[in-house]
């Protein structure tokens, strides 16, 4: 963590009581923040971002297709898919010997689009 410079912090300890109370009252509860942290954890890996991007543009993909898109072994893709499923970002279905994954809902797709649009600007 970078060292703080004197001009980075207040020189006197004071705060706006009304504003602090308002901001505290508007703060989400810890459980909600844990859910948000979980979502950001899912998005904090380049391979998982690629998987989410691939799935946002298709109905569903099987594990083998996702591995091919990523250019990795099926076991690596499966590991990332399991993580995303555990984080409640993806859902899956079995079809015989094949396993298909899809987005649980479009929320993650919308977040991904917003982030990528902001970066490309």
Would residue 2 count as lying in a domain? no
Dump pLDDT digits (tens) for 95-115: 999 999 999 988 888 988 898
- Whether 36 maps to a domain, the answer reads yes
Asked whether residue 112 is assigned to any structural domain, the reply reads: yes
- Cα 74 to Cα 32: distance, rounded to the nearest angstrom: 34
What is the CATH number for 110?
Answer: 1.10.10.10
- What would the pLDDT profile of 58-79 be if each residue is shown by its tens digit? 889 999 999 999 999 999 999 9
User: Do 59 and 91 meet the contact criterion of CB atoms below 8 Å apart?
Assistant: no
Contact predicate 76/48, CB 8 Å: no
The number of helix segments (H) and strand segments (E) in the chain equals: 6, 3
Domain count, the chain: 1
- Residue 25 belongs to a domain: yes
Range of the domain at 64: 16-120
Query: How many Å apart are CA 13 and CA 15, to the nearest integer?
Result: 7
The answer as to whether 103 is a domain residue is yes
Does any domain span residue 76?
A: yes
Q: How far apart are CA 108 and CA 62, in angstroms?
A: 19
């Amino acid at each position: 963590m970078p060292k703080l410079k004197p001009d980075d912090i207040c020189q006197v300890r004071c705060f706006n009581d009304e504003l602090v109370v308002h901001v505290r009252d508007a703060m989400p509860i810890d459980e909600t923040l844990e859910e948000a942290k979980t979502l950001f954890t899912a998005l904090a890996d380049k391979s998982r971002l690629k998987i989410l991007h691939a799935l946002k543009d298709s109905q569903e993909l099987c594990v083998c297709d996702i591995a091919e898109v990523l250019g990795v072994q099926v076991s690596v893709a499966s590991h990332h898919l399991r993580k995303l499923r555990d984080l409640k970002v993806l859902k899956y279905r079995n079809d015989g010997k094949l396993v298909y994954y899809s987005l649980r809902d479009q929320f993650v797709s919308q977040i991904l689009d917003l982030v990528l649009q902001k970066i490309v600007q």
